[in-house]
């Protein structure tokens, strides 16, 4: 079931976004393919969120098989619907209702970058680490099993470099979920982890 897959992804981590679209997009390059919250038809947050100032960037995979036949808009709408209700994760763990999508940005298989939770508010997670200051970026797919697409890697690099510039985030503050929640998750997967140093180098080069 699609939703159970979404749930499994959420079990790995969450994050969120509520900043006005114009502000969110301010620091993003014009050639980055962005799907705004308005464009995907986001519902408003359903609960209070915790304000924070972004200081680090944390990269995730959804942990579920990529689904290139379904639009990114449709997938993030489903993710939001799941996020905003109490439910059960793929492993049977209960999940509380979250205010919004747990991640701040979702990168579909086609490289489209969908806005998630307002980046000025903390995300959500089912693992244990302090979410304060984390910009949560999730890439669609299970990178323990498959490879990210070239379009995803290009968008991930463009997004991370732009966010680092906008929020004055240093290269060494870019890491994977497993680096934050040590021993709790393999996220973002063995086939995406080698790209993390590439991201740090790209930030460093700016």
Q: Would you give the end-to-end CA distance of the chain in angstroms?
A: 42
Q: Is the CB of 23 or the CB of 96 nearer to Zn ion?
A: 96
Q: If binding is defined by CB under 5 A, does position 12 make contact with Zn ion? A: yes
Q: If binding is defined by CB under 5 A, does position 10 make contact with Zn ion? A: no
With CB under 5 A as the contact rule, which of the stretches 1-9, 23-31, 48-56, 180-188 interacts with Zn ion? 180-188
Q: Is the CB of 123 or the CB of 206 nearer to Zn ion?
A: 123
3-state secondary structure of 34: strand
3-state secondary structure of 174: strand
Contact pattern from residue 122 through residue 161 relative to Zn ion, giving x for each residue in contact according to CB under 5 A and a dash for the rest: ----------------------------------------
Q: Please give the size of the binding site for Zn ion, defined by CB under 5 A.
A: 5
Q: Is the CB of 25 or the CB of 186 nearer to Zn ion?
A: 186
Gap between the Cα atoms of 58 and 129, Å rounded? 12
- Out of 37, 60, 75, 200, the only residue in the binding site for Zn ion (CB under 5 A) is 60
Q: At what angle do helices 196-205 and 150-167 cross, to 10 degrees?
A: 50
Residues 6+ apart with CB under 8 A from 148: 61, 139, 141, 156, 191, 192, 195
Tokens of 1: 């079931």
Which DSSP state fits 121?
B
Q: If binding is defined by CB under 5 A, does position 187 make contact with Zn ion? A: yes
Tokens of 10: 């959420």
With CB under 5 A as the contact rule, which of the stretches 28-36, 94-102, 150-158, 175-183 interacts with Zn ion? 175-183
With CB under 5 A as the contact rule, which of the stretches 9-17, 90-98, 105-113, 148-156 interacts with Zn ion? 9-17
Q: If binding is defined by CB under 5 A, does position 13 make contact with Zn ion? A: yes
Helices (H) and strands (E) in the chain, counts: 7, 8
Q: Is the CB of 10 or the CB of 39 nearer to Zn ion?
A: 10
Q: If binding is defined by CB under 5 A, does position 120 make contact with Zn ion? A: no
Gap between the Cα atoms of 169 and 200, Å rounded? 10
Gap between the Cα atoms of 151 and 127, Å rounded? 28
**Interface with Zn ion by CB under 5 A: which residues?**
12-13, 60, 177, 187
């Amino acid at each position: 079931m699609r939703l159970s897959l979404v749930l499994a992804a959420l079990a790995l981590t969450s994050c969120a976004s509520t900043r006005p679209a114009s502000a969110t997009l301010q620091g993003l390059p014009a050639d980055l393919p962005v799907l705004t919250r308005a464009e995907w038809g986001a519902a408003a947050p359903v609960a209070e969120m915790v304000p924070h100032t972004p200081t680090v960037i944390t990269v995730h995979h959804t942990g579920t098989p990529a689904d290139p036949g379904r639009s990114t808009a449709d997938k993030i709408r489903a993710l939001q619907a799941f996020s905003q209700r109490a439910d059960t994760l793929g492993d049977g763990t209960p999940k509380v209702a979250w205010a919004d999508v747990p991640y701040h940005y979702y990168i579909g298989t086609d490289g489209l970058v969908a806005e998630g939770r307002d980046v000025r508010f903390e995300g959500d997670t089912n693992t244990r680490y302090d979410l304060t200051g984390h910009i949560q970026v999730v890439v669609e797919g299970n990178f323990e099993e498959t490879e990210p697409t070239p379009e995803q890697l290009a968008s991930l690099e463009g997004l991370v470099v732009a966010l680092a510039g906008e929020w004055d985030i240093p290269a060494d503050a870019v890491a994977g979920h497993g680096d934050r929640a040590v021993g709790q998750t393999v996220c973002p997967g063995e086939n995406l982890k080698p790209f993390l140093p590439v991201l740090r180098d790209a930030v460093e080069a700016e």
